[in-house]
Amino acid sequence: MKQFNSFKNQIPLPIRLFLGKALLFFIVWKIIYGIFFYNSNSLDNTLTTHVAEASTFVLNNLSFMSGFSTQTESYSEAFGGELIEYRASTIYHHDYKVLNIADACNGLELMILYIGFIICMPSKILRKVLYIVIGLLILDLVNILRCVGLIYLREYFHTYFQFAHHYLFKIIVYSTTFLIWVFYTRKIHLKNEPVPVG
């Protein structure tokens, strides 16, 4: 226990406060999600449906492509000897399935991570709210464009689809999140606390 306290005291106070807030935020979010959203999945379903419908809108109205539609479907997969059922928003192109957007791909976890970072960093409330709102809009737009890009690659450059899906677009999404964090932290000055020696 003394070693733990010694190690803890060597960590600067601002970092300890940030980690403590982050842990508390994570626990509170998991409790809220488990109580209100886990069984109904209403938040996940709503966000997944939104991403699919927005992607379809962009494809049909803001690109040279057309004929896309979306619908929610139920799927089942064998995982670890168990049959797991889940819902996904499926995008069709002229009745041909081109993309499944499952709840894991709707960007919710990344948005919560983003919000948690903003809340845990010291700043004015108004600035936090502003960055949360603008950041969520940007992340949502990037996720929609990611889906549009995946469909475009599947339709015209199928060879690059898997690479883009597993690597390229993930790098873009996480880099966008990181850049917003960098902009947010530019005006934050943490008070330096001398680290005890010995």
Does residue 192 lie in a domain region? no
51, part of any domain: yes
Q: pLDDT tens digits, residue range 68-105?
A: 999 988 877 777 778 777 788 999 999 899 999 988 88
- Per the structure, the count of domains in the chain is 1
Cβ–Cβ < 8 Å for 101, 46: no
pLDDT at position 123: 87
Is residue 18 within 8 A of residue 119, CB to CB? The reply is no
In a domain, 28, yes or no: yes
Range of the domain at 23: 12-185
How far, in Å, CA of 105 to CA of 107, rounded? 6
Distance CA 120, CA 31 (A): 18
Residues facing 79 on adjacent strands: 82
If 0-12 CB within 10 Å is exposed, 13-18 middle and 19+ buried, where does residue 148 land? Answer: buried
Question: What is the pLDDT, as a whole number, of residue 193?
Answer: 46
Please give the pLDDT value at position 135. Answer: 96
Q: Is residue 145 part of a domain?
A: yes
**pLDDT for 6:** 67
Produce one character per residue of 62-89: b if its CB has 16 or more CB atoms within 10 Å, e if not. eeeeeebebeeeeeeeeeeeeeeeebbb
Q: Beta strands 96-102 and 82-93: pairing type? A: antiparallel
The answer to whether residue 191 sits within a structural domain is no
Q: Are strands 68-79 and 82-93 parallel, antiparallel or unpaired?
A: antiparallel
Residue 45: inside a domain, yes or no? yes
In a domain, 197, yes or no: no
The SS3 call for residue 1 is coil
pLDDT < 50 regions, the chain: 193-198
Is 181 among the domain residues? yes
